[in-house]
Chains A and B, each alone.
Chain A
Amino acid sequence: MLEQIAMWIMGVGLAFDLFGCIGLVRLPDVYNRAQAATKCVTLGTCMILLGVALRAFGAPDGAMAVKALLCAAFVLLTSPVAAHAVCRGAYLSGVKLWEGSVEDSFSERAEEIRQEQTTEGSVDREETETA
């Protein structure tokens, strides 16, 4: 019974994984792709881990269940941060939004960040030159 439920959970998770990857191929620019792929693949993998944990819980195999839950927590915490970092890096490295986009409020802030970086960089260089 527990194994049946675990299999259903894993099945839904696998479907989410697949749709996330289809999104990665079909959507037009890096921000949309990161969005679809991160959401779907994170939850999909977490559901696979939950399924494994559920079966191990019924086995009973406490070590495996706890490890799977811990791994789900790690995936849930790290993967949005990675997506956020990559998108910020993409914007600052000059990747344009898709031409169908309707709004872009980040351009001013991005300009500020670039200026901060160049001033920081010049300070660093001066320090190294004097040293």
Chain B
Amino acid sequence: MTPFEQIAFAVLILSSALCLYRVGRGPTAPDRTVAIDILGTLVVGFCCLMAWRTGRDYYITIAIAWALISFVGTLALAKYLEGRSYDA
């Protein structure tokens, strides 16, 4: 690993740790939902760094799939918070 990659991974891991702190601390359900959504976007960043390091393009494919699926998951959680059925 080059120094740049080491620093990049360290920064992303620190960011994820801050997110996880918010997921654990709460204090309300929407706080946790926002933090999980942000964590999903950070995972896309991790996938990019892996693609940068290895030069293989399937990591970006994983990133695309992850971005779209975490979006759907967040929408489902938001609907649940609104107290409505999923098809509305």
Contacts and interface: CB of A to CB of B under 8 A. Distances in A.
Q: Per the CB under 8 Å rule, do A and B touch in the complex?
A: yes
Interface of A: 7, 10-11, 13-15, 17-18, 20-22, 24-25, 30, 33-34, 37-38, 41-42, 44-45, 48-49, 51-52, 55-56, 59, 61, 63-64, 67-68, 70-71, 74-75, 78-79, 81-83, 85-90, 92-93, 95, 117, 120
Tier of interface size on chain B: 35 or more
Contact of B37 (A17, A48, A82, A90): A82
Main secondary structure of the interface of A (DSSP, over half): helix
Interface in B64-83: 64, 67-68, 71, 74-75, 77-83
Given A24-B35, A81-B71, A89 B11 contact: no
B64 A48 contact: no
Nearest to A15: B11
Nearest 8 pairs of A and B residues by beta carbon: A89-B81, A90-B30, A85-B78, A21-B18, A64-B57, A78-B71, A21-B15, A89-B78
